[in-house]
Chain A
Amino acid sequence: MNTILSIKNLGKTYQSAGRTLTVLHDVNFSIEKGSVVAIVGPSGSGKTTLLGLCAGLDRSTTGSVELNGINLGTLSENKLAQMRNLNVGFIFQNFQLLPALTALENVMVPLELRGERDIKSIAVELLNKVGLTERSHHYPAQLSGGEQQRVALARAFSNKPAILFADEPTGNLDDETSEKVVKLLFELNREAGTTLVLVTHNLDLAAKAQRIIRIKGGTMVSDERREP
C-alpha cells in the first residue's frame, strides 16, 4: 500500500454561541508515502483544522481519516497519542518548544515517550545536523526564532515519523532565516524519506511541494499535482 493518509468525506462543525459553525465540508483526498504536499488557502479557510484532523489532534464530525492504515476515528484518546508518537512529527508556526526544557531535552522528548534508551546520542546528532550542537543546553527563551525552529525541526525528525505536518513553518521568521529553515526542512525530509504536509500562506514555499491542495470556505477547491 502506497497511501499514507486517506481523507474521505471529512467534515467538521462547531457549536458556537448557539449556532452551528461548519469549518470543513466534504473534503476528500489521499497522500502517497514520501510525497510533499502543500495545503494552501486564505485565513479562516479551515487549513489548520484540516491539519489537526489529519494528525489525530481532533475528531471529525463526519467522514474518516486513515493514517498509515489506521482509521483514527476508532482510536481512543490514549491510542491517538500513541499513534502520534509513533507516526507523526510536527512543526509549528510558533515553534512550540517546551519552555522549561533545554534544546537537547526538547529533542529527546518524543523518543523518551516511546520508552527508548540511549537517545541522547540521537538527539545530539540531530542538533548537530541543524547546526545547534553548541546551543543544546540552552532554554528556548535563550534562542532566537530561527534557532528555536531548528530545534523544532530536530525534534520533529527525532522519532523518525512516517508523516510530518508543518503548520506555517516560516510564518514567524524573516526571509533569510525562513530560507535556511526551509532548506533544512527539505534536506532532513529527503534524508528520512518522510511524507511532508505543509500548511502555508506562503506560495513560494508551497511551490516547492509536489502537490498543492487548495481549501476555501472549508471546502477543497483544487488539487494540483506538479513536478517539483
Chain B
Amino acid sequence: MAKIFWLFTMAWRDSRKNRPRLMLFISSIVFGIAALVAIYSFGYDLRRSIDDQAATLVGADLAISTNKPVGQNAMPFLDSLGATRSRELSFVSMVLFPKSNGTRLVQVRALQGGFPYYGDLETTPVAAGRSFLGGRNALVDNTLMLQFNAAVGDSVKLGQVTFKIAGILNKAPGQTGVASSVAPVVFIPLQYMEQTGLAKKGSRIEYSFYYKYAAGTDVTKMVDKLKPRLEKEDFNYETVDSRKENTGRFFNDLTRFLALVGFIALLLGCVGVASAINVYVREKISSIAIMRCLGATALDAFVIYLIQIVGIGFIGSVLGAELGSFIQNVLPVVLKDFLPLTINTVISWPAIGQGVLIGVVISFLFALLPLISIRKISPLFTFRLSFESVNFAADPLRWLVYSLIVFFIITFAYLQLGSILGSLFFTVGIFVAFLVLTLVAKLLMYTMRIVVRTTWGYLVRQAFANLYRPNNQTIILIVSIGLSTMFICTLFIVKDILTEQLVVSGSSTQSNMVLFDIQTQQQDAVAQLTRQQGLPVMQQVPIIGARIEEINGKTAEQAKKDTLPQRPGERGRRGFGGELRLTYRDSLVSSEKVTEGKWVGLVDPASTAPIPISIEDHYANNLGVKLGDHITFNVQGTNMATVVTSIRSVEWNRVQTNFRVIFPKGVLEQAPQFHVLLTRVPSTAASVKFQQAVVRQFPNISIIDLGLVLSVLDSLLDKISYVINFMSAFSIVTGIIVLIASVRISKYQRIQESVLLRTLGATRRQIGTINALEYFFLGLLSALTGVLIAIAVSWLLATYSFKLPFVVHLAAPGILLGSITSLTVVIGLLNSRGILNRPPLEVLRRDV
C-alpha cells in the first residue's frame, strides 16, 4: 500500500514541472472526445425526442396512402376504419404567383379534415394553420414566400383556381428543411381540388387518409388485423410506432456514422499523443535512470509515468466530455435541415460516461506504446548513454499493444455498426487511409528534399532540414492536418463534379427543360406553344402507369413463397407491387444501347403473340429476368403478356427521359397516358417567359428546368457540406493542437538551434525566416498531401460511383492550400515567438 502511495506521489511530483506540457499533449484528444460525447448525447436526445414526438411526425394515429385512385370497394373499408379522419391528395404541380409572375414546381397537399391531430401546421400567423381550410386559402412554404417576395394576403394560382395566401408554412408534421427546399409545399383545402383541374386521369397523385383514435387504442394490434386487406388493396400504412421505429433506425444510422467520423478525429489525436509522449519519455530517460539507481524497479518507473498519462488522460476526457456537452446544443442547429422534429437537449450522463471511458482507455493504449520502453531504460544512463542505447522500436511487447489498439478500434466500430465485417472494413480502411497519407507525405517530403537541396539558398535548406530534426513529429503533423484537408477538399471537388455535369448538360445541345403531366389532348397544343416561343420540341414521350402481375407465370404471392434459390446476382423480385412508368417507341435514343437480344420497335396491333419488350439491365437483374422470360403487365386494369426480347444499358445521368421498360409501337397507343416534352431554353429569361406561358395556358403541366435542379442540388449540397465541414472541424482542431504540442515539445531543440545560429552570427530576422519557412513547408506538405489524396478519392468516386466525367477546378484546392499553409505558419510562429524575443542565455536558463 505504501508503495502504491509512493508511486502516486512520485507521479504527482514528477508531473509538476510538466503539467502544462502534458495537458497540451492530452488536449489532442479533447476534441475527439468532445465530438463523441456530443454525438452520443445528441443520439440520446434524438431517441427521447422521437419517443416524445413520434405522434407529431405522423400527425395521426394511423396514416394510409396509395398512389392509385381508391376504388369503389376500398372506400367503404377506409371509411370503416375510424370516424375521426382526414383526407389528403398530394402531387407535384406548377404554382404561379400573379404579383411577381413567378412560377415554380411545388408539392401540393390538398387537405380535408382536422389533420394534423398531433402537432400543428406551424404557420405565420399561427391561426392560419387551422383556419385556411375555411375558404379558398393556401398555406405557402416559407422558402417560396421568400423566393417570390410574397406576403400573407397575396394570391397564388394552382391550376384554374387562385387562392389567397392565408399563412406562411414554417413546418408541417414530419417535414424536414431538406424536403422543403427540394419540393416546397403548398397546402390548399381539398374541396377546391376538382376546380383546379389538376386531378386528371394519369396524374401522379398520392391519396392519403389520416385517422385519430381514442387514447389507449392499440393501433399496432389493430393494424396487424387489417394487414391482409391493406396489402390486398396495395395500401401503404404507418402508425406512430412504425414511424418511431423507422425514424429511430435512420437517426441511429446517422449518429453512428457521425460517431465514426468523430472517432477518426480521436484516433488522430491519439496518434499525436503517442508521438508526444514518446518525446516526453526520451526526455525523462535521465530521471528514470536516476530512480533506477536509487532502487526503483523498472516496473515502478513504468507505473509512475503510466499514472501521469492515465491521470491526464482522465482530465482530458472529462474536459472533452464537458466540451461535448456544450457542442451537443450546437448539433441540432447544424443538422436542423435534416431533422423532422424539435430536439430538446438534456445533459446525458451515459454519453459523458461513454466518452470519458473511451478517452481513458484510448489514451492509455496509445500512451502504452512509448511507455513500455521505460522498462528498458538502464540505470547506467546516469553515467552516460549505454553502449546498448534504448531501442524504442524493438520491444516485442509493442506488438501486444498494437494488437490491443486494433482490438479496441474493431470493438468500437462494431458497437457503432453492429456488423463484424463492417467494423473490420472500417478498421482496415482507417489503417489504409493512414498508410496512404503517410506514404504520400513521405513521397512529397522526399521529392521536396531533392528540389530544395539542389537549388535553393541556405535559409530555405535549413528550414527544410529542420523538418528532419531528431524526435520530429513531421509525419504525424502532415497526416493529421492532411486528413482534415482531404475531407474538405474531397467535398469541394465532388460538389464541382456534380454541378459540372449539370452545367455541361446545359451548355451542350441536350435538352434542359422537361414538361410533364401533359394530357394526350394537350400534346399538340403544348408542342405548338413551345415552337411559338422559338424553342425546339426535342422529344415527346408518352408515359403509362403499369404494374407487374406475373413473371414467368408466377404472381407476387407465389414469388414470395418460392423457395427456389435465386440466380447469382439476382437481388430479389422487387418489381412486384410498385407502380412502374413505361413508354413505347420504335427506336432507341442516344442515352441507351442494347446489350443483349434484339430491339423490336414495332408490332402489329392485331397480333396475339406476347409483346416484345426491352428492359434496362439493372432492373432486369433486380427482377431476376433474362431474355425470353415472360412478364405480364397490368396496364390501367388490362393485363398484357410480354416477352423480354432485349436488354439495354442506360445512361441515367442525362437530363432526358429514360425508362426501365419500353414497349414497341402498336399496342399502347390507346392506353391512358400522359406525355413528357423535352425542350431547350437558351436563357433564364426565355425559361421564365416560357414557364409563365405554359402555366397560364396549361396549369396542370409541371415543369422542371435545369436552373431549378441546379439550385436545388446546390442548396442540398450546401446543407450536406455544412454538416461534413462541421465534423471535419474536429479533425482540423485536433491537427492544430498536435501542431502546437509539437512546437512546444521541440522548443528546447529550437532554442539550442537558435542560440547556435545566433552565436554563429545569424540575425533575428534570419532565424525568424528559417522558422517561418519550416512551418511553411510543414503546412504546404500537409495541405498538398490532403489535396492530392482528395483528388484521387474524388476521381475514384466520379469514375466508379457517380460514373461522371472527372473535373477539378483548381480554385478550391488552391484556396485550401493557401489557407492551411498560412494557418500553420501563423500558429507555428505564435508558439515559437518566445524563442526569438528573449536573449538566448536567459531562455536557456529558464528552460533547462
Q: Which residues of A contact B (CB under 8 A)?
A: 14, 16, 21, 48, 51-52, 55, 57-58, 77-78, 81-82, 84-86, 90, 92, 96-101, 105, 109-110, 112-115, 139, 141, 155, 159, 167
Contact = CB atoms under 8 A, between A and B. Distances in A.
A36 B243 CA distance: 90
Contact of A77 (B10, B298, B386): B298
Given A97-B290, A100-B15, A109-B10, 7 more contacts: A57-B378, A77-B297, A81-B296, A82-B297, A109-B291, A113-B294, A115-B2
Residue of B3, B286, B291, B383 with most partner-chain A CB within 10 A:
B383
Interface of B: 2-3, 6, 9-10, 13-18, 286-287, 289-300, 378-380, 382-384, 386-388, 848
Contacts of A52: 380, 383
Residue of A55, A77, A100 with most partner-chain B CB within 10 A:
A100
B733 to A, nearest CB: 30
Contacts of A141: 848
A141 B844 CA distance: 11
B388 A14 contact: yes
Contacts of A109: 10, 291, 294
A85 B295 contact: yes
B383 A92 contact: yes
A167 B17 contact: no
Given A51-B383, A92-B382, A98 B295 contact: no
A100 B299 contact: no
Nearest to A87: B295
Contacts of B379: 57, 84
Nearest to B294: A110
Residue of B13, B290, B294 with most partner-chain A CB within 10 A:
B294
A84 B295 contact: yes
Contacts of B378: 57-58
A109 to B, nearest CB: 6
A100 B287 contact: yes
Contacts of B388: 14
A100 B16 contact: yes
Contact of A99 (B6, B287, B291): B287
A113 B295 contact: yes
Contact of B380 (A58, A113, A139): A58
B14 A101 contact: yes
Given A58-B380, A100-B14, A90 B293 contact: yes
A113 B296 contact: yes
A55 to B, nearest CB: 8
B747 to A, nearest CB: 16
A85 B286 CA distance: 18
B284 to A, nearest CB: 9
A167 B378 CA distance: 17
A85 B6 CA distance: 15
A70 to B, nearest CB: 14
A101 B293 contact: no
B293 A57 contact: yes
Given A51-B383, A84-B295, A113 B13 contact: no
A155 B382 CA distance: 15
18 contacts: A57-B382, A78-B298, A81-B300, A82-B295, A85-B295, A90-B293, A90-B294, A100-B15, A100-B17, A100-B18, A101-B14, A109-B294, A110-B295, A113-B296, A115-B3, A139-B17, A155-B294, A159-B295
A90 B286 CA distance: 15
B287 A98 contact: yes
Contacts of A84: 293-295, 379
A153 to B, nearest CB: 14
B201 to A, nearest CB: 87
A98 B14 CA distance: 8
A14 B297 CA distance: 24
Contacts of B296: 81, 85, 113
A48 B386 CA distance: 11
A98 B299 contact: no
The 4 closest A-B pairs by CB, nearest first: A85-B295, A14-B387, A115-B2, A57-B379
A112 B15 contact: no
A114 B3 CA distance: 9
B2 A96 contact: no
A91 B472 CA distance: 34
Contacts of A90: 293-294, 382
Residue of B2, B14, B297, B299 with most partner-chain A CB within 10 A:
B297
B249 to A, nearest CB: 53
